[in-house]
Amino acid sequence: MARPLDVERLERAVKSVYRDVAEAPNEEYHFEMGRPLAERLGYPAGVLDRVPARATESFAGVGYHFDLPDLREGDDVLDLGSGSGTDAFVAALRVGDSGSVTGLDMTDRQIANARKLRDEAGLDNVSFERGYIEDAPFEDGAFDVVLSNGVINLSPDKERVFGEANRVLAPGGRLAVSDIISEKLMPESIKNSEDLWAACIGGAEQIDRYTALIEAAGFEVAEVRDNAQYEFVSESAANACQKYGVKSISLGARK
């Protein structure tokens, strides 16, 4: 019989890791971080030059997906699990002053850092709110685009996450995510490891179930691609990747 997830314990572990990421981006983690990673994943150097450097220092995304949602001037964008703010700042460059970008994150330190960087950069069309991606504190149909990078795998209730993403999108809204998935079912020893969960491995959903959850929430999946440029750096994480096909993907969908 499968042991149920201790959701509160996993949440504490995730918050602890990403608080450390915000405060000490140069320490060693299961995953790579920083601007070199962002560039390797596909973020244009010229775009990153316009993003606060201290945001890209703490960048911990797993893929590049800004070519998928067709961001336009005037779009209102929600970034689920906004972390350091890198993706929110990149999106702000796309939507311009007539658009808006809202970052949602559950980690107080990440929110505080991102708000400080926003204020220093004078990006008036960007806001960062504290909250949970399973219970987004926004009205129905408030956004044109929902983004997320390396975060949904950290949620123990992905069905609710995709349901909330659909709810807050206007008709015809677009979803673009990069995330960690697995090709094979992983054992409970990995699924219940708070260390591997916080490392974006324990919560990785099998790819067929991942896309099925998105479609069940009311989306039409348009594109799914592997991010071969992304790899985990710790031995335990790399072993799980090799054995169970844990990898990064980017996905685009429409409501």
* Full pLDDT tens readout for the chain, 255 residues: 344 556 666 666 565 665 555 565 665 556 678 999 999 999 999 999 999 999 999 899 999 999 999 999 999 999 999 999 999 999 999 999 999 999 999 988 889 999 999 999 999 999 999 999 999 999 999 999 999 999 999 888 999 999 999 999 999 999 999 999 988 877 776 766 666 666 667 778 899 999 999 999 999 999 999 999 998 776 767 777 788 888 999 999 999
How many residues are recorded in the chain? 255
- Give the model's pLDDT for residue 22: 58
User: Phi first, then psi: what are they for 28, rounded to 5°?
Assistant: -90, 135
CB 97 within 8 Å of CB 74: no
Neighbours of 210 (CB within 10 A): 23
Reading the block at residue 60, the tokens are 């911990």
- Give the model's pLDDT for residue 141: 98
* Alpha-helix residue ranges (DSSP H) falling in 25-74: 35-41, 45-48, 53-57
Question: How many angstroms separate the CA atoms of 69 and 174, rounded?
Answer: 6
CB 104 within 8 Å of CB 136: yes
What's this model's pTM, rounded to 2 decimal places? 0.89
Q: What are the structural domains, with CATH classification, of the chain?
A: 7-254 (3.40.50.150)
Amino acid at 3: R
The tally of CA atoms less than 13 A away on the side-chain side of residue 144 is 14
End-to-end CA distance of the chain: 37
Burial of 222 (0-12, 13-18, 19+ CB in 10 A): middle
- Give the model's pLDDT for residue 15: 57
- DSSP sequence for 181-210: EESSPPPHHHHT-HHHHHTTSTTPEEHHHH
- Give the model's pLDDT for residue 3: 45
User: What residues contact residue 179 under an 8 Å CB cut-off, 6+ apart?
Assistant: 62, 63, 148, 149, 150, 151, 152, 153, 210, 248, 249, 251
Question: How many angstroms separate the CA atoms of 195 and 154, rounded?
Answer: 11
- Give the model's pLDDT for residue 98: 97
- Give the model's pLDDT for residue 39: 97
Using the 8-state DSSP alphabet, how is residue 4 labeled?
A: P
What region, left, alpha or beta, does residue 253 occupy, with left being phi > 0 and alpha being psi -120 to 50 degrees? Answer: beta
CB 14 within 8 Å of CB 154: yes
